[in-house]
Amino acid sequence: MARTVPNREYMLKRRLLIPLLLPWIAAGCSGAEEDTGRHFIAHRGATMRCTLAGENSREAVRYAARAGFDCIETDVRWTSDSVLVAVHDATLARTFTYNDGRPVPKEIAVSDISYAELRDSFRLKAARPEYRTRVLTLEEFCTECRDCGLRTFIEPKKVTPNWVYPELIATADRIFGRGGYVITSNNEANDRIRLEMGIRDIPLMGILYQSTYEHIASLGGTVMAISATRFGEEEYFAHVSRAKADGLETESHADDFEHFDRINNADIDYVSTDLLAPDYTGQGETIYQSRGRDVGKIASESAASGKVEFGAVYLDLEWSGSATVTLASQSFTLPEAASPRRARHQLLVFDAVPAFEITSPSENFRIKRISLRIVRF
C-alpha cells in the first residue's frame, strides 16, 4: 500500500497546533517549590561533561553548590609516587590536555607519572580557558566539598591497590569525620572495607548490576544503586520496591527525560547526574516564570529572557496524547497518554538561550497544566 506523505500546509498546521489548544489548556502551574526530600549528586562535580568545568575540579565543586546540589561524587586514582588524586579515568586523554592545549596520547596513565608532573604539565579540559585548571589531590577535593557543604561519595576504581584504602579512609576521616562520607564502588571496595578490613561505620553504596541484591544488603549500612538504564522498567521498579521495604536508601543515575521520568515515578533517595539540574528549592535567581496557557507565547517569552551563562530550566507539565518537546539541549517524546499524565524535566544550562518548543503533537494531544521556569545561578 502506498504511503501518503503529508503536504507542507498540513505539516505547518500541525506544528502550529499547540498554541491553538486554548480550550483544553488549563492555567499554568504555579511553579511553587516542591520538596521531594531527595538528594541530587553532582557526578564528578557540575561539569556538564567537561564543558562548564573540568571533571573533579575545584570549579566543578563550586558550581555544584551554586546550582543547589547537596551531594557530589568523585573518583580516586593514584600517581607513580603514591599521591591520591581526584581523577576518573586510568589514562589522561579524555579529561586532560597539556598546558599548551595539545591533546594527550591515549597511553599516558595517571599511575605512570608523578604528582608533580600531573599537576604542573597538564590541565583539565573545559570550554573556557580560565576553567582549564590543574588536578586536585583527594584531600584538596574533599576539603572543597566540605567547605561547600556537599556530602561526598568517593569511588575507588577497579583494581585499586591495597594501600589505597587505608590512606583514602584516613584522608576522608580527617576532613569529614568518620561516617560523614560514602564509599561507592564496583563492589570490590565494599568487600575490602567490610569483609577484609572489618570496618562497619562507613556508609557504602553498592552498584546492583555489578553484584547481587542479597550481597549488597548483607554488608550493612549500604545505599542500593539501582540503574535506571540497565534494568527494564518492571525489574527496576521491583528492585526499588524491595530496597525500600528492606529499609535501604536508593540511588539512580539519569541524564535524559526517559530515565529521569522513571526515577520520578520511583522512591529514589539520591539522583546522580551529569546534566540534570537539582530540584528547584529556591536557589538562584528566577529570570523567567511562565504564566497563562499559551505554549507559543511561553516559548517566545522564554527565548526573550536571553542567554544564560550558568543556570537551569525546569519544565513541569500534564498532558494527554503525545508530542515532541525540545528543552535546552535535549529533545524527547512525551509517551502516549490516554488520560492526563504528569512529568517533569530539568536541565543545567551553560552559555546558551534555554530552548523550549513543543512540536509534532498527536491529534489527541492536550495540555492540562504547564510551567516553565528559568533560573540563573
Q: Which of 273, 295, 316 is the last residue of a domain?
A: 273
Task: Kindly state whether residues 46 and 27 are assigned to the same domain.
Answer: no
CA 42 to chain centre: 6
Q: What is the pLDDT of residue 26?
A: 35
Q: What is the pLDDT of residue 326?
A: 98
Question: For residue 370, what is the domain's CATH number?
Answer: 2.60.120
Task: Kindly state whether residues 85 and 229 are assigned to the same domain.
Answer: yes
How far, in Å, CA of 32 to CA of 34, rounded? 6
The kind and range of the H/E element at 98 are strand 96-98
Q: Which of 273, 294, 326 is the last residue of a domain?
A: 273
Task: Kindly state whether residues 134 and 250 are assigned to the same domain.
Answer: yes
- Determine, yes or no, domain membership for 176: yes
Residues of the chain predicted below pLDDT 50 = 1-32
- Determine, yes or no, domain membership for 341: yes
Q: What is the pLDDT of residue 187?
A: 87
Task: Kindly state whether residues 308 and 216 are assigned to the same domain.
Answer: no
Q: What is the pLDDT of residue 195?
A: 96
- Determine, yes or no, domain membership for 278: no
Q: Which residues neighbour 170 within 8 Å (Cβ) at sequence distance 6 or greater?
A: none
Rg (CA), the chain: 23
Task: Kindly state whether residues 203 and 241 are assigned to the same domain.
Answer: yes
Q: Could you give the number of structural domains in the chain?
A: 2
Q: Strand 330-352 and strand 308-327: pairing?
A: antiparallel
The model carries a pTM of 0.90
Structural domain boundaries enclosing 268:
39-273
Residue 45 corresponds to which cell in the numbers above?
Answer: 562535580
- Determine, yes or no, domain membership for 45: yes
Q: Which of 220, 253, 273 is the last residue of a domain?
A: 273
List, for residues 123-178, the tens digit of each pLDDT value.
999 999 999 999 999 999 999 999 999 999 999 988 889 999 999 999 999 999 99
**What percent of the chain lies above the pLDDT cut of 70?**
90
